[in-house]
C-alpha cells in the first residue's frame, strides 16, 4: 500500500509487507501511529466490515485507538479481544 505514510514503516522494510498476510499488523500500526489519510486508505483497501473483523481480534491497542474503534465500529468494549484478554504475567512478575 504505497499510499500509507512513510513513518509507519520505521522498523521494517516496506517492500516486505503483504497487505493480506499482514493485515492485522498493518491495521494496528495505522490505528496507533497513522494519520487520518492512512485510516482512509485502509478503509478503501479492506472495507469497513473486514476492518471490524480485524480490529476485534487484535490482542492489544493503545487506549486512544481502542476508543476510536469502539466509536467507529459502534461496538461495545467487550467485543474486542484487547478488552477481554489478560496478560499472562503481571509487571511485578517480569521485574
φ, ψ at 88 (rounded to 5°): -75, -25
Three cell numbers, residue 51? 476492518
Q: Flag whether pLDDT at 22 surpasses 90.
A: yes
pLDDT of residue 84: 72
Grid cell for residue 15? 517492500
**% the chain with pLDDT above 90:** 77
Query: Residues 43-55: what's their mean pLDDT?
Result: 95
Those residues whose C-beta lies under 8 Å from the C-beta of residue 85, and which sit 6 or more positions away, are: 59
Amino acid at each position: 500500500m504505497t499510499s500509507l505514510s512513510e513513518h509507519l514503516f520505521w522498523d521494517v522494510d516496506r517492500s516486505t509487507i503483504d497487505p493480506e498476510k499482514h493485515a492485522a499488523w498493518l491495521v494496528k500500526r495505522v490505528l496507533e501511529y497513522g494519520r487520518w489519510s492512512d485510516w482512509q486508505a485502509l478503509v478503501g483497501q479492506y472495507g469497513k466490515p473486514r476492518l471490524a473483523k480485524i480490529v476485534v481480534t487484535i490482542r492489544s491497542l493503545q487506549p486512544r485507538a481502542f476508543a476510536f474503534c469502539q466509536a467507529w465500529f459502534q461496538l461495545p468494549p467487550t467485543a474486542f479481544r484487547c478488552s477481554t484478554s489478560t496478560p499472562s504475567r503481571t509487571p511485578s512478575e517480569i521485574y
